[in-house]
Amino acid sequence: MTQDDESFMQEALEKAREAALSGEVPIGALIFDPSSKTVLATARNSPIALNDPCAHAEILALREAGAKLGNYRLTDLWLYVTLEPCAMCAGAISHARIGRLIYGAPDAKGGAIEHGPKFFAQPTCHWKPEVTSGVLAEDSATLLKSFFKARRKT
């Protein structure tokens, strides 16, 4: 983990906070190009707003970066996300050829990187990024816990 990892994860957390304010599960994502040192995409969870069960922050960030680059292959780019990706997102990350995945909080229930299907460890997985977990994990977990606690009160 680097200082830059924490800085980019802070940006992803800001997107997660935006999601929470709009009633979406607070997950944010960011795609960084280390060769040009530019942020190509930021996104927040939006399945409710977009009426799209696939509108996870990771998927939306991958789509935005692909559109900007004019290529569905995002080889060597870095994806920051505040929560361990689910199986759907892990599959998309693999297909996009993301070079490095950095995530915050673990997700024992729905995660697919270190939990559940452990997507990248499967012999059928054709591309595995470098994975760094736990970056600002406590901040990410606290945001999620606060969001769901507030929802249970209403």
Helix 137-153 / helix 3-21 crossing angle, nearest 10 deg: 10
Is 95 annotated in some ligand binding site? no
Q: Is 58 a catalytic residue?
A: yes
Catalytic residue among 14, 24, 58, 114: 58
Is 54 annotated in some ligand binding site? no
Is 56 annotated in some ligand binding site? yes
Question: In terms of C-beta density within 10 A (0-12 exposed, 13-18 middle, 19 or more buried), how is residue 48 classed?
Answer: middle
HEC letters along 35-85 = CCCEEEEEEECCHHHHCCCCCCHHHHHHHHHHHHHCCCCCECCEEEEEECC
Known binding-site positions for Zn(2+):
56, 86, 89
Indicate which residues carry an active-site annotation.
58
Q: Which residues are annotated as a binding site?
A: 56, 86, 89
